[in-house]
Amino acid sequence: MSIRNYRPRRDSRRTISPSKNFLLIAVLTVALGLQISYPLVDGETLRLVTIATVYWAAGAMLLHALFAYGWTYALRFLFITFFYALIVEQIGMRTAWPFGTYEYSPTLGYQIYGVPLVVPFAWIMMAHPIFIAARRLAPHWVFLVGGYGLMAWDLFLDPQMVSAGRWTWEITGRTVPFQPEIPLSNTFGWLLTGMGLMALLHLLLPSERRSLGSSRAVPEFFLAWTWIGGIIANLFYFDRPGVAFLGGLALGVVVVSYFLSVKYGRRD
């Protein structure tokens, strides 16, 4: 057989069908569109947009996990993250540890013993891209980098949701800088519980770094979008430059480090 006529078999695992790719991009686009509309609406519309944004974004992340890493990975990720978040929130509400004393508003929809169903899906929404970033940045310290990433994201989330009345805190001690409505214990709680979740995911999910189908573009874009969007929203819509600075600096450490690693680090 002539070498010139040899054609290596294409690695079909590295691509997904156009219909699956369209579905993934479409779901993400709806989530981003809902996020863009957030500062532009109010009242009942704002409440519905808040809930819908989380479900659509979580759906995009779950679809990516499925298309990129397969059923085993996606189902384990969903099960672990959902029930871990639900248990942590139940403990936190009843004991005030480790987050502090807080209470959810009924405006977030259906609740499971006081915890809105949408809350575990918010964990799912951000755990997927942050977990991917943590595995690349520090394969032996995934729990630490991933826990820090979730904590940094919450520096954007909590002040936004408290301002909208989605949950409230009892302030008895020190508060987060630029966030007098958020106790400092909440930041510690996110770091602690985030490390626990990332440790479980790293232990129980397949460790293969290469995507089986869909590329990492969707979670990468969503992670960058969350960082940049949090800064812009707090600067120009919520009039909270301190939150923009603190959240932007904290989450930016993960986002910038990740993209530098993608550009200049190892190929996988």
pLDDT digits 0-9 by tens, 4-28: 443 434 444 457 888 999 999 999 9
What are the angstrom distances between the C-alpha of 249 and each of 186, 188, 192, 229, 240? Answer: 18, 17, 20, 13, 14
- Give dist(CA 171, CA 181) in Å, integer: 7
Q: pTM score, two decimals?
A: 0.92
Structural domain contains residue 7: no
Report residue 108 as tokens. Answer: 């977030």
Q: What is the pLDDT of residue 2?
A: 45
pLDDT tens, residue by residue, 117-141: 999 999 999 999 999 999 999 999 9
Structural domain contains residue 136: yes
Structural domain contains residue 4: no
User: What domain range includes position 243?
Assistant: 16-264
CB atoms within 10 A of CB 206: 11
Domain count along the chain: 1
Report residue 147 as tokens. Answer: 């826990």
Which amino acid is it at 105?
A: S
How far from chain centre, in Å, is Cα 135? Answer: 15
Structural domain contains residue 181: yes
Give residues with Cβ within 8 angstroms of 106, minimum separation 6. Answer: none
Q: What share of the chain is helix, strand, coil (3-state, %, to 5)?
A: 70, 5, 20
Q: What is the pLDDT of residue 213?
A: 57
Q: What is the pLDDT of residue 121?
A: 98
What are the angstrom distances between the C-alpha of 265 and each of 99, 161, 169? Answer: 36, 37, 42
Residue at token pair 């959902």 = 82
Q: Which residues of the chain have pLDDT under 50?
A: 1-13
